[in-house]
Structure 1
């Protein structure tokens, strides 16, 4: 089969023929129809992000496709079923603290690298082999909409954060870093879950205005100007009431001060979820006042990715119309142009812009 292979960091993807995956027990093989391209894929491929990858590897994290074959332990999946292939692979031998890796993107940890040695290759190929539990039915869709359904990935990451925070309908949410692809997805998801209001922060004034125009009065935007106290004061002023939940999803280039600006805006007994990349490239750590956190009973939760049930729940929110895929502008490339797709994703990153590869 044809695949896009990363042979060494800093070199272009090699488009070549590789052996087709062989089915094993506890596994599914999927015909890949569309796979999203992360805005920062170029940083992973260059080695700048220092992701743990055993090379050579078929690159690509997650996809939408159709089941080709299932192992003997599958009781519901059938060939032809449309599925979202969740790249979040968990070890099966420790339910309390499983190792986690993102298939086709990073081992995440030394334990995750052991998983990667087996579930080695990603989705930028004609076929993908993955654990049975990671091939999650999404119901019948039109094949021409498969690329748009890759937006599930943009929604699932912040959805995992809101599930961890136990977000309730009617609450006020602050999305810190709302102008990126995952941050803008967080705004859409919070509204779909019933948030009374979303305070969206960012430095890109044009992107903030776009969010306000798309979602109307339930979104209030705050441009971050760089002064911690002043920015926090404007966040609090913009909110129609006490802020119940803060989701930080700032990228690695942001500073810990930007995180603290948002965290300290939450109300007493409020919840904060950290999902961004701050600190991944070095720099000062996040300093929070112990007495303030203790006296105000603040819940601080770190969250990487999302629980397995999240895909089913998010597909339900999309099918019910609470969250829509219609906002996304999709640009598709075939496998032969995977390197061009990576460049395009980096150049056209931002709210509701999505690049996909369609093998």
Structure 2
């Protein structure tokens, strides 16, 4: 099969022939039709993000494809099924605290690296081998629609955060980082889950206005000034009532003051979900007042990715018409132009934009 291979950090992907994956028990072979290129893939490949990858490797976190072969433990899948390949691979021998690797992207920790050494290669290839439980049926789709279905990989991340927070229909949500790629996805997911209102703070007037244009007056934009106390009060005033849940999905480059201002808008007995990058690039960590957390009974959830059943549940939201993949503008490249796709993703990583490789 043809594949894009990362042989060393800082070098371009090599487009070459690789061995076809070999099916084992508990595994599925999928023909990759479309796969998302993350906006920061160039930083992963350069080594700047310091992601744990045992090279050489075929990168690519998940994707959309059709089942080529199934193992003896698959009872619902059939050859030819359209599927989403979930990149979040979990060890199977400790359900309470599994090791987790992101197939084709990173493996933090010794246990996760052992997973990567087996489920080694990702989706920048014509075929990939995936754990059976990570293959989620989509139902019938047209081949050209596979490109936009790649948005599932982005939408799933904030969806996992809202599931952890037990977001309920009719609640008011604040998305800290609403003008980013994952943050704008969080706005759409919260509304699809029935949020009555989403407070969307940010500094980019154009993107804030676009969120309102897309989703209507259930989105309450707030222009941030950079003053922590002022911004906190502005966000509270924008909400029609108490803020039930705050999701932080800010990137590593953002000041902790901005993150803290948003978190501390939540009501007493409210929930906070931390999914962002504070402290990941060095610098100060996030400081929150112990008395405020304790006296206001604030629940704080640290969430990385999402539970195993999240993809199937999110697919159901799309199929019901509650979550619109049509919001996404996609640009597709073939596998021979994988390096151009990585460069394009880095330059075009805004809200509701997708860069996709179609092997």
Q: Normalised by the shorter chain, which TM-score bucket?
A: over 0.9
1:276 aligns with 2:273: no
Query: How much does 1:334 deviate?
Result: 0.4
Match of residue 232 from structure 1: 232
Distance 1:5 1:209 in 2: 40
Cα deviation, 1:202-251, whole Å, max 9, x if unaligned, reads 22221111111111100011122211001111100111100000000001
**What is the total number of aligned residue pairs between the two structures?**
359
Unpaired stretches in structure 2, ≥5 consecutive residues = none
Specify the alignment match of 2:217 in structure 1: 217
Q: Distance in 1 between matches of 2:339 and 2:205?
A: 30
After TM superposition, list the pairs within 5 Å mapping 1:94-173 onto structure 2.
94-173=94-173
Contact 1:263 1:272 in 2 (8 A): yes
What's the Cα RMSD here?
0.7
- Rounded to whole Å, the distance in 1 between the matches of 2:238 and 2:287 is 25
* CA distance in 2: counterparts of 1:25 and 1:51, whole angstroms: 29
Question: Aligned pair 1:334/2:327, yes or no?
Answer: no
CA shift for structure 1 position 108: 2.2
Query: Is the CA contact (8 Å cut-off) linking 1:27 and 1:71 kept in structure 2?
Result: yes
Q: Report what 2:303 is aligned to.
A: 303
| Residue in 1 that maps onto 2:16 | 16
Q: Tell me whether 1:7 sits opposite 2:3 in the alignment.
A: no
- SS of match in other structure, 1:355: strand
What is residue 36 of structure 1 aligned with on the other side? Answer: 36
Post-superposition Cα deviations, 1:109-142, rounded to whole Å, max 9, x if no partner, equal 2211110010000000000001000011111111
2:41, 2:204 → 1: CA distance? 21
Q: TM-score, normalised by structure 1?
A: 0.99
Equivalence map 1:165-184=2 (5 Å): 165-184=165-184
Alignment partner, residue 54 of structure 2: 54
CA displacement at 1:150 relative to structure 2: 0.5
TM-score norm. by structure 2 comes to 0.99
Distance (whole Å) between structure 1 residues aligned to residue 108 and residue 314 of structure 2 = 24
Whole-Å Cα distance in 1 between the matches of residues 57 and 296 of structure 2? 47
| Helix, strand or coil at the partner of 2:5 | strand
Q: Which residue of the partner structure matches residue 252 of structure 2?
A: 252
Find the residue that maps to 1:128 and give its secondary structure.
strand
**Once the two structures are superposed, what CA deviation does each residue of 1:172-204 show, in whole Å capped at 9, x if it has no partner?**
000000111111000000000000100011222
Q: Distance in 2 between matches of 1:108 and 1:122?
A: 16
Q: Deviations over 1:126-168 (max 9, x none)?
A: 0000100001111111111001000111110000000000000
Contact 1:222/1:235 (CA < 8 Å) preserved in 2?
yes
Tell me the SS of whatever aligns to 1:130: strand
CA distance in 1, matches of 2:239, 2:358: 42
Structure 1: state its 5+ residue gaps. none
Which 4+ stretches in 1 moved above 6 angstroms? none
Paired with 1:122 and 1:144, the residues of 2 have a C-alpha distance of: 21
Would the aligned equivalents of 1:255 and 1:279 in 2 still touch at CA under 8 Å?
no
